[in-house]
Chain A
């Protein structure tokens, strides 16, 4: 199937083009952007990123590990102090807090790799160094007969350059 690569210089134009294309039923899109752009994020995918699940799981694992480790260790070698309980929760809260952050942070990073599908060992053929300069790329994979329509649509939305790649 042929691929159309539209090059843009402003993220808002790409976002508009993406929304229009999606509205017309072209969902096989890929966007390359040199900068983070919330407009683009929202245009391509309305749902919030799944990274948040990873943070939640990491944080919960951390807090449970923190308390479990400290309480278990206090009871594994019991030190009697004035008949008080072996485990003392307030200081252990500090350990639990630190481990919440540690596990939460590490799993968030892992979430980035999992959700963004990194590492990637081969760059996409349509990717080029211009997309890490100041150009935005919108790649549409479509049937032969839709090429003209999409090309017009991209141009309508301010594409500065349009390439046709046969894949």
Chain B
């Protein structure tokens, strides 16, 4: 316990630590709230570009509703195309946020504090982006309620034995829980913003912060809530991409029908999610001068995760080939031969190089701490992971059992436009978030700062800084 210092006259100490007692504030608040202030021309330009792509995709989608799914490049037997590829891609991106905020929370990895908020926000936006592709993919959007447990005209219910329905439940649960997680974490920071904002922002934050004052009753419930949400979200995040993988693995399509798909997809999702966090946060850190809070140490830790999951993904690539060879099933073997040397060989090699090849450079500490290199690598990984889903889905479908039914699918321009628009949508929401909500969890970063202040000059007490499971 801290020995109390000799009692000084209160007023003089207050004057010492706070030159302007009328406006008490902390450096952490000022630095992190500043991100939300002011908008430069560059910001509006980015909003315009992202919003433009979003509107373009919206226009194409209306065109598709009018013309029908014929405008997509579907060729028999490939009826799952770029939409499903992009759906799986965005669901994968959504995994880093929950991993950082739930799993690393349970493991008491304090370094997550600086990046958890932005990763959680990305999770929410990525799930929202992904969910739209279900509606886009079904074509007749007005029939998409068929995926909900609501009887159709003949009183027939949905088929709960279908992986597609499991997916509906997994994705909607994931979207809901990640929104709850993001919001619960935001409440104390919104109160900080409320106490310092003026005008419409003050009203907005006053409403959203629900009158939070940081009383011990509030914090105690908050800590408990975050702990329980983490406990719930940890199995959830592992289940979501497993369920997505079962969309494929439960079928009998060669190249899809593999029990390895669950862990393979989850590792790939974490891999791509961390890459996306790097892609977004490296520019954000630079533009808003957050080097003090999001340090190279954070980026290095994330690149360790990327390296680990890259090895798992690379192992899965090899294991798939081995399973095909060892199974002695002709169709399986031919599917994997054609994957590497068939019509889609370019996608396959892009996938292998970007996901299993280049990330191996992260074995070198020099490169793990080289921020421009990490940025380039993270973009390459994003490309590679999109192609991974493309390879799995398209090569599997285009070369099924019956050679007379083979076909070659190429995405059509409307499909590619909507895919580009999904990136616009994601960036648009993230840009709005940057200016409306604290992008770094202020209270949690401050927790570390206060602990450091408390322990300065004292014997280092591990239990105090890292807390206990309570």
Q: Which residues of A are interface residues toward B (Cβ below 8 A)? A: 7, 9-13, 16, 30-42, 44-45, 48-52, 55, 59, 69-70, 73-74, 76-77, 88, 91-92, 94-95, 97-99, 101-102, 104-106, 108-109, 111-113, 115-124, 127-135, 155-162
Contacts and interface: CB of A to CB of B under 8 A. Distances in A.
Nearest to A100: B232
Interface in B240-291: 243
B231 to A, nearest CB: 8
Contacts of A104: 228, 232
Interface string B200-211: 000000000011
Interface stretch (B6-14, B120-128, B385-393, B396-404): B6-14
Given A106-B176, A115-B224, 19 more contacts: A7-B14, A30-B215, A33-B214, A33-B219, A41-B219, A41-B223, A41-B470, A45-B220, A49-B220, A95-B166, A101-B232, A109-B229, A115-B221, A116-B217, A116-B222, A118-B211, A128-B24, A129-B195, A135-B24
B124 to A, nearest CB: 14
Given A51-B224, A95-B169, A98-B170, A36 B219 contact: yes
A102 B176 contact: yes
Contacts of A123: 211, 213
A32 to B, nearest CB: 5
Contact of A35 (B149, B228, B450): B450
Given A31-B215, A32-B214, A36-B447, A161 B220 contact: no
Contact of B177 (A35, A44, A105): A105
Nearest to A42: B470
A9 B166 CA distance: 51
Contact of B447 (A35, A51, A132): A35
A9 B453 CA distance: 9
B435 interface: no
A62 to B, nearest CB: 9
| 6 smallest beta-carbon distances between A and B, as pairs | A120-B211, A130-B24, A119-B210, A129-B195, A49-B224, A35-B447
A96 to B, nearest CB: 10
Contacts of A50: 221
Interface stretch (B138-146, B150-158, B348-356): B150-158
B364 interface: no
B219 A124 contact: no
By CB atoms of chain A within 10 A, which of B14, B218, B239, B468 has the most?
B218
B219 A118 contact: no
B221 A116 contact: yes
Contacts of B169: 94-95, 98-99
A16 B1 contact: yes
Nearest to A129: B195
Nearest to B187: A118
Contacts of A40: 216, 219
Contacts of A115: 217, 221, 224
A156 to B, nearest CB: 6
B4 A132 contact: no
Contacts of B223: 36, 38, 41, 49
Interface of B: 1-2, 4-5, 7, 10-11, 13-14, 17, 24-26, 28-29, 149, 151, 155-158, 160-161, 165-166, 169-170, 172-173, 176-177, 180-181, 183-184, 187-188, 191-192, 195-196, 210-225, 228-229, 232-233, 235-236, 239, 243, 443-444, 446-447, 449-450, 453-454, 464, 467-468, 470
A91 B26 contact: no
B14 to A, nearest CB: 4
A119 B213 CA distance: 11
Contacts of A109: 180, 183-184, 225, 229
Q: Which of B29, B216, B219 has the most CB of A within 10 A?
A: B216
Contacts of A134: 24, 26, 28, 446, 449-450
A102 B155 CA distance: 26
B229 A108 contact: yes
B27 to A, nearest CB: 9
A133 B29 contact: yes
A157 B4 contact: yes
Contacts of A73: 149, 157-158, 160
Contacts of A108: 180, 225, 228-229, 232
B213 A127 contact: yes
A55 B232 CA distance: 9
Contacts of A39: 464
A44 B211 contact: no
A132 B2 contact: no
Given A7-B14, A112-B222, A105 B216 contact: no
Contact of A94 (B28, B172, B243, B450): B243
A104 B173 CA distance: 11
Contacts of A156: 4, 7
A52 B218 contact: no
A48 B219 contact: no
Contacts of A105: 173, 176-177, 180-181, 229, 232-233
20 contacts: A13-B4, A16-B4, A33-B215, A36-B444, A38-B223, A40-B219, A70-B160, A95-B169, A105-B176, A105-B232, A112-B184, A116-B215, A118-B210, A119-B210, A123-B211, A132-B188, A132-B196, A133-B25, A158-B5, A161-B10
B149 A69 contact: yes
Nearest to A111: B225
B194 to A, nearest CB: 8
B1 A38 contact: no
Contact of A44 (B187, B216, B235): B216
A37 B165 CA distance: 42
Contacts of B196: 129, 132
A19 to B, nearest CB: 10
